[in-house]
Amino acid sequence: MNPVYGTVEQVEWLSPSMVRIVLGGAGLDHFEASDATDQYVNARFVPDGAPYSVPFDDETIEAVDAAFRPRNRRYTVRYWDAEQRRLTIDFVAHGDVGYAGRWAQRAAVGDRLQISNASGNYRPDPSADWHLLVGDESALPAIAASLDALAPTASGVAIVVVDRPDDEFELTAPAGVDVRWLHRCTAAVPETLALDAVTALDWRPGTVDVFVHGEAAEVRSVRQHLIADRGIDRDGASISPYWRRGHTDEAWREIKRQWMAEQAADA
């Protein structure tokens, strides 16, 4: 199987905490996209000093020391242009830390990034009476792609939690969708911003299509409220954590399965 990889063609800072990387080139000729608006790829970041470069194959990786093997990170696809074979990914970048954030902050035209083909599970239900989209920076690309996919006549609420007002950037949404930005810097308890906003909603009649993703504890609390207090069908909603506060990506993956089982038992 040919490695799938993109070559950086454009770098754009959408906000102080979000950088958009547009990938193109022949390495995407075999890329397979998903129709899901939360479609994601596993990006494979090469550690500094590694004795190989993109593109690489699995045999090459198996032969190098574990310290130099690629670090896999999951990222949501913001756009896929099938005609031009261009892939856009929006990266959250908080300081020069972590393999993914550091790569994104330093990315320059000509750099390469190896990825997997896309997978995904959610796309807004066009038959729903209204839509509820909730998340933080990590879920923002999926929320933005979902807003793009809504019919012009769609209605609903999108709640997005970011650090500061200057972390906001323009989102395209139908006129009937209320996009609400919440700022941690002005909140007495930032960890409950999303829950408080959802709890305070004037609940609309009819069927609601639910998408809630982001920090694990915050997603869990919103999920409990939606199922226990709003009567949401847990099997019909897209609710899942992307990350866990205080945990590295590796540490979160070690406990995620157990966390998900505990969350499922909540309600």
- Assess whether pLDDT exceeds 90 at residue 251: no
Could you report the per-residue pLDDT of 215-249, keeping only the tens digit for each? Answer: 999 999 999 999 999 999 988 999 999 999 988 88
List, in order, residues 6 or more apart from 32 with CB less than 8 Å away: 117, 118
- β-pairing, 238-243 vs 208-215, is parallel
pTM: 0.95
Contacts of 101 (CB under 8 A, 6+ apart): 91, 92, 93, 94, 95
Within the chain, which residue ranges are assigned CATH 3.40.50.80?
130-266
Q: Which CATH number fits domain 130-266: 3.30.1490.20, 3.40.50.80, 3.20.20.70, 3.40.50.2300?
A: 3.40.50.80
pLDDT greater than 80 at residue 96: no
Collect all residues with Cβ–Cβ distance below 8 Å to 129 and sequence separation of at least 6: 155, 204, 205, 206, 207, 208
What integer is the mean pLDDT of 181-191?
A: 96
| Mean pLDDT of the 67-94 span | 94
Identify whether the C-beta of residue 132 lies closer than 8 Å to the C-beta of residue 156: yes
Q: Residues 196-210: what's their mean pLDDT? A: 96
Fold of the 5-115 domain: Elongation Factor Tu (Ef-tu); domain 3 (2.40.30)
Location of each CATH 2.40.30.10 domain in the chain: 5-115
- Please give the mean pLDDT across all residues of the chain: 94
Cα four-point dihedral sign 182, 184, 185, 188: positive
Are the CB atoms for 226 and 208 separated by under 8 Å? no
What pLDDT is stored for residue 95 in this prediction? 66
